[in-house]
Amino acid sequence: PEGEEGNDGGATSAVAWLRQRFRRFNVVSRTSELWCVSVDSDVEVPAYYLFWPADQNLEQLFVTRPALHRALEEEESITLHEMKPVRVSARDGTKLLCYLTLPAGGETAAPMVVMPHGGPSERDSWGYCGVSQWLASRGMAVLAVNYRGSTGFGHRFFRAGMSGKFASFGGVGASMQTDVEDAVNWVCDNRAVLRE
């Protein structure tokens, strides 16, 4: 049967082995004998590895922030802050995927910085974000909102942020702005829920 070891060249067991070691990884390039794997998460410094699936051997190529990586390994007092995905309902019921990074201890009463992504035809995604980590390490919560017009959520969601006239006249950007406002209000109204 397809997917059984032997029919997929051992890829299924290799992927399972990688899943046990990393929160999130991506196979950037591969041959039957050698894979290049990128690893990152919200609480790990992004790194790249060579991986030999046959003998499940990893060799680190490099980390993107070597000084931070060394500091995390050498000092127990340094930690990275978890980025929580939260689903928020906009005022018209549209679901928005947002990412909330809280300071140490999950302090939800902390001041909050809203960090909109560029674009509008871009998006925020879960993973390591140096700016969010820096702000959280200084006691601030960080909210990243995938408002209407963000990519990766379907054509209708994208177009909902792009129709109409200029933002200052209630067209392009109006739903983007209200989506950000609704996400901020949701976080403020749900601080107790977010502690858990």
Is residue 145 within 8 A of residue 122, CB to CB? The reply is no
CB under 8 Å to 124, separation ≥6 — which residues? 98, 99, 117, 144, 145, 146, 150
Task: Average the pLDDT over 46-69 and give the result.
Answer: 93
Task: Average the pLDDT over 55-63 and give the result.
Answer: 93
Tokens of 76: 């127990």
Q: Going by DSSP bridges, is the β-strand pair 57-63/44-52 parallel, antiparallel, or unpaired? A: antiparallel
Q: Where are the alpha helices (DSSP H) in 37-171?
A: 66-74, 130-137, 155-160
CB under 8 Å to 65, separation ≥6 — which residues? 45, 46, 130
- Distance of alpha carbon 71 from alpha carbon 77, whole angstroms: 9
- Condensed to tens digits (0 to 9), the pLDDT of residues 11-53 reads 888 999 999 999 899 999 999 899 999 998 998 889 999 999 9
> Percentage of the chain with pLDDT > 70?
84
